[in-house]
Structure formats: structure tokens, C-alpha cells
Amino acid sequence: MSGTLVTILSNFALRSEILHCQVGKMKSVQQEERYECMSLFFIYNRVFKTKRGLICYMQKQNKIAVIGGAGKAGRYVVEKALEAGYQVRVLTRNPKQFKAFYKHVEIIKGDVRDVEVIRTLFNGCHTVISTLGKPKKESFIFSSATNNILTVMNELHILRYIVVSGGSVDVPGDKKSFLNKMGARMFRILFPNMMKDKYKELNLLLESNLDWTFVRLPFVVEGVATGSIKESLRDIPGLKIYNSDIADFLIKQIASPLYIRKCPFIAN
Ligand SMILES: NC(=O)c1ccc[n+]([C@@H]2O[C@H](COP(=O)([O-])OP(=O)(O)OC[C@H]3O[C@@H](n4cnc5c(N)ncnc54)[C@H](OP(=O)(O)O)[C@@H]3O)[C@@H](O)[C@H]2O)c1
């Protein structure tokens, strides 16, 4: 805000403060002065209400919700989000995993299948990032979780959703190499339940009106970011990706419109 504007606003505020005290005496003031009093009083209220509104808005603009932030693909998402200046609220069934970040991260204990938990997780956030995996000894929950996530995002008017999936998911417009086409076919044969659930998840996104990005990953390896990430909308550009590089890419998508409603492949 420029200095001039601040001066004008302070003058209005000061004058209106005085006028506010005199409001009881307004009957005795001339008609013209009364209009001036009322308009200044109106501006004063607007200025202060707007300031409060602006602070709330800015707080909301800075907070993101993370699902699966302790998993293999998502391990560095919380750390990278903090580094980028975001406030982070993360969902986990086992909060002890986040001890190192405890002071700086809001941890919500719970299961992604619980809609009330998702409401608490998303409240006040402007973006949701999911690197959700499969719960051990249970079937796949990608589509059921997505259903909950999208429902609550709609309820809370949250638009931006960034989610990871596998490079074996085919999307119209892909131009996969023969080998990668065969790889995707093998996945459908070997892991039919997982692939059905992943396609169901993708269809839920396609049917939604949200600004989603469906990031398709190759094999994920544990390691420090290389900073060199290949991106493509046509084919898997490599065999592996370091989880730290995944986090960098996901955090960059928060403010980038490049892959909104798209399914980029990434690799090192
Ligand atoms: N790993 C790979 O090599 C690879 C390769 C390509 C694609 N991907 C894709 O990347 C995504 C993540 O895979 P990943 O290997 O990183 O998964 P993961 O390590 O097995 O699990 C990720 C997270 O999912 C969370 N989770 C599981 N069930 C949950 C539930 N019911 N409620 C809340 N959170 C739950 C866990 O959080 P808590 O334990 O903290 O609750 C866990 O930290 C998947 O879509 C996968 O297909 C992975």
C-alpha cells in the first residue's frame, strides 16, 4: 500500500473515529454534514472490515493440506512446502512419523476415508496435495478417497488439487513408446484391481470442475533432489524419479496453471 493511501485512510479513520463518538449528536448537525459523517463512517467500517478480510484471505492463501506425506513418493512434500513458505496441515494415521517437523506442521490424525477428518484437514486450506498409497493388508482406496476429497473440496470451495499416480495409467492424447505401452498393459494384467481403482479415480477428476493435476510417476527411488526433472504430456520421460524431486515438482504446481486438468509424466 502506498504512503499516500495510508495517509488518506488514517485521516479517514481518525475523522471517522471522532465522528463515531459524535454519532449520538448527529441530529443537531446540518443535513450536508450529516451525509459527510455517514459516508466517512461507512468508509471507516469498510476499511477496517476489508483489512480484517484481507488478513483472513492471506492466511487462507498460504495453507495447504497434504495427504500421504509420510509415504515413499510424498516423503519430502511437507519439508519442501515449508521451505517454499507454505503453512502445512498433514493427514496421517501415525503422527509420530512427523516428529521432526512437529512445531511447524499441523498434524491431523485420521483416515482419509473419514469425511469428518477430511473436513478438519482442509478447513482454511487453498490447495490439497495427495501422495496417498495403499493401506497395508487392505484393498485400494484411491477412488473412495478421491470421492471424499472432491466432496469436501467442493463444500469448502477449494479449487487446486495435485495428486500423484503411476506412469502405467493411460490417458487420451498419450503417445507412449511401444515398450511403455507394453508396460501399461502388463500392469493392467498383473494388478487389475489397482488399475481399475486408479482409472476410477481419474474419471472422478475428469467429471469434477476442480483445477486438478494428475502427476504420473515412474519407479520412485529414495534420494536427494537432482533438480533435473523431465516433464512430458505424451510419454514417460525416464525409468525413475527421486522422491525429493517429486516434492519439488508438486510444490511448484501449487501456483502454476501449466498442468491444470492435465496428466503430466515426470522422471529424472
Ligand atoms: N512407490 C513407487 O515406486 C511408485 C511408483 C509410481 C507411482 N506411485 C504412486 O504414488 C502414490 C503413492 O505411492 P507410495 O509408494 O508413496 O505409497 P506408500 O508409501 O505406500 O503410502 C503413502 C501414504 O499413504 C498414506 N495412507 C495409506 N492409507 C491411508 C489411509 N487409509 N488414510 C490416510 N492415509 C493413508 C500413508 O500415510 P500414513 O501411514 O502416514 O497414515 C502413507 O504415508 C500411489 O498412487 C502410487 O501408485 C508410486
Mutate which of 97, 217, 243 to test ligand 1's pocket (most atoms within 8 Å of Cβ)?
217
How high is the pLDDT of residue 113? 97
Give the highest mean pLDDT range of 20-24, 75-79, 96-100.
75-79
How high is the pLDDT of residue 9? 41
For the chain, how many structural domains are there in total? Answer: 2
Among the ranges given (67-81, 87-101, 118-132), the one the predictor scored with the smallest mean pLDDT = 87-101
Within this chain, do residues 48 and 81 fall inside the same structural domain, yes or no? Answer: no
The tens digit of pLDDT for each residue in 83-105 reads: 999 999 999 999 988 877 667 89
Q: Give the mean pLDDT of 135-144.
A: 95
How high is the pLDDT of residue 61? 64
Q: Which three cell numbers stand for residue 229?
A: 526433472
**Closest C-alpha among 260, 146, 135, 151 to residue 201:** 146
Within this chain, do residues 9 and 82 fall inside the same structural domain, yes or no? Answer: no
Amino acid occupying residue 203: N
How high is the pLDDT of residue 104? 82
Within this chain, do residues 30 and 137 fall inside the same structural domain, yes or no? Answer: no
Calculate how far, in angstroms, residue 111's C-alpha sits from the geometric centre of ligand 1: 13
Within this chain, do residues 101 and 8 fall inside the same structural domain, yes or no? Answer: no
Question: Is the C-beta atom of 93 inside 6 A of ligand 1?
Answer: yes
Calculate how far, in angstroms, residue 247's C-alpha sits from the geometric centre of ligand 1: 14
- The residue segments making up the domain with residue 166 are 68-267
Within this chain, do residues 102 and 207 fall inside the same structural domain, yes or no? Answer: yes
The tens digit of pLDDT for each residue in 206-255 reads: 999 999 999 999 999 998 888 899 999 999 999 999 999 999 999 999 99
Q: Which three cell numbers stand for residue 61?
A: 492463501
Q: Which residue's CA is the closest to the ligand 1 atom numbered 28?
A: 135
Within this chain, do residues 53 and 106 fall inside the same structural domain, yes or no? Answer: no
Within this chain, do residues 7 and 134 fall inside the same structural domain, yes or no? Answer: no
SS3 248: helix
What's the whole-number average pLDDT of the chain? Answer: 83
Calculate how far, in angstroms, residue 57's C-alpha sits from the geometric centre of ligand 1: 31
Within this chain, do residues 43 and 136 fall inside the same structural domain, yes or no? Answer: no
Question: Is the C-beta atom of 168 inside 6 A of ligand 1?
Answer: no
How high is the pLDDT of residue 136? 92
| Position 262 pLDDT exceeds 60 | yes
Continuous H helices in the chain = 3-22, 31-62, 77-83, 115-122, 142-155, 178-190, 192-207, 243-253
Whole-model pTM: value is: 0.81
